[in-house]
Amino acid sequence: MAYTAHNPTTIYADIVARLTSQTGKAVGESEAPAGAVQNASLEPYVIVYPQLELFEGSLSDPNIIDEFTFQLTCVGGTMVHAQWMQHSARAAVLGWAPTVAGFTPTPIRLVLGSGIARDDDVQPPVFYSTDRFECFTS
């Protein structure tokens, strides 16, 4: 049997593209988007952190079930900006399914939401949320 596991890079690139097109804001993968400046006047942005990937099946089995967990850290210079960014990011991905060639992904769902936290390690402080999402492919 041929190795048919998806390429995870494709999934996360698809999620980044979706967030960029739907929110109109900068999106980074595992790091702040290029040019992001952390201060009160910053433009809100999102960071996609791939977190966990669980396989069921073997790599030679084309019928692999795969579960992805990822986090969206939404950052804003004010509480309202961070809330707006969190809401926009959720609206962009919830219920939407990324494209995975040869696989059938389920719509993305929220598994652990967060409130907005204030980061005083940055001066002036910024605000952020840390929502975790998951998606299955089969």
Partner 1 sequence: MTTTPEVFARRLEQSARELEPEWRRDWSKEVADEMSRRAPRDTGRLAASMRVTDEGVVADVAYAVYVARGTSRMAPRPFDLEAVAAVIKDAAEGAGDLVIRELT
Which residues form the interface with partner 1 (CB under 8 A)?
A: 30-32, 38, 49, 51-52, 54, 69, 71, 73, 75, 114, 117, 119, 121-122, 126-128, 130, 132
CB of 67 to partner 1, least distance (A): 9
| One-character DSSP codes across 8-46 | HHHHHHHHHHHHHHHH-SEEEESSPPTT---STTPPPEE
Our CB check for partner 1 shows the closer of 22 and 114 to be 114
Our CB check for partner 1 shows the closer of 21 and 118 to be 118
Our CB check for partner 1 shows the closer of 37 and 101 to be 37
CB of 49 to partner 1, least distance (A): 6
Our CB check for partner 1 shows the closer of 73 and 137 to be 73
DSSP conformational letter for 58: -
CB of 73 to partner 1, least distance (A): 6
Residue 31 CA, distance from chain mean position: 12
CB atoms within 10 A of CB 31: 10
| One-character DSSP codes across 84-112 | HHHHHHHHHHBT-----TTS-BPPBEEEE
